[in-house]
């Protein structure tokens, strides 16, 4: 229990710091931390609802809570949606990676360790894309959001492929996970394509 609390606190602290760092140039600190409170409240709401009704679907319930909290923050403080998505993705992925690493240790799970490794690679990819996307000649708009949407799209694509072979990894919905994650990846890649075309 104590280990779970400490790991959750570590994930929350990382999220708060990264979320603030990504947005501090454009928004006041009180706006950023209130927005993060909305998101964390959504995480808590989604988690407790999943525990009550469908424990295996906690990832999707939590994701719904995150989207709800983020929408409230965007509407209240006029955050730029794609900028908020980037801050959320790079802030929350380390927390998810910590959960996968803990599960891999607790249950000697190779699949959970591979999921942790995939999240780590995605964070490295995000860093690369975030630093270089303006140099991509085919990304005509040059608008912020490319790194976040691409990373999230790949995240769900990997989830879909991974779920086809390891359907019982923590946070997976069995065989249905591949379909749901695949659709999510398609939507995110479509948003990325549309963003690239805007001028």
Contacts of 148 (CB under 8 A, 6+ apart): 82, 85, 86, 87, 88, 89, 90, 126
d(Cα 26, Cα 191) in Å, to the nearest integer?
23
Closest CA to 14 of 119, 101, 88, 103: 88
How open is the CA angle 99-105-108, to the nearest 5 degrees? 120
d(Cα 190, Cα 177) in Å, to the nearest integer?
20
pTM for the predicted model, two decimal places? 0.89
Quickly list H helices, the chain.
2-23, 29-53, 58-77, 81-106, 110-132, 146-165, 176-197
pLDDT one-digit tens code per residue, 52-84: 988 788 899 999 999 999 999 999 999 999 999
pLDDT one-digit tens code per residue, 9-50: 999 999 999 999 999 998 999 999 999 999 999 999 999 999
d(Cα 110, Cα 182) in Å, to the nearest integer?
23
**Domain residue spans in the chain?**
2-197
Closest CA to 126 of 35, 18, 10, 16: 18
């Amino acid at each position: 229990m104590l280990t779970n609390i400490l790991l959750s606190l570590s994930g929350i602290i990382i999220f708060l710091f990264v979320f603030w760092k990504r947005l501090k140039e454009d928004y006041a600190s009180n706006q950023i931390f209130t927005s993060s409170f909305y998101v964390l409240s959504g995480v808590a709401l989604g988690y407790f609802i999943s525990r009550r009704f469908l424990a295996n679907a906690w990832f999707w319930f939590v994701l719904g809570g995150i989207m709800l909290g983020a929408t409230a923050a965007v509407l209240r403080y006029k955050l730029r949606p794609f900028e908020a998505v980037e801050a959320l993705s790079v802030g929350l992925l380390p927390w998810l990676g910590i959960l996968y690493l803990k599960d891999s240790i607790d249950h000697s799970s190779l699949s959970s360790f591979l999921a942790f490794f995939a999240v780590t690679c995605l964070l490295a990819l995000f860093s690369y894309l975030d630093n270089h996307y303006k140099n991509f000649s085919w990304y005509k708009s040059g608008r912020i959001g490319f790194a976040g949407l691409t990373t999230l799209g790949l995240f769900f694509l990997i989830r879909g492929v991974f779920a086809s072979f390891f359907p019982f990894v923590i946070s997976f919905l069995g065989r249905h996970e591949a379909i749901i994650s695949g659709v999510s990846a398609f939507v995110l890649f479509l948003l990325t394509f549309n963003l690239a075309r805007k001028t």
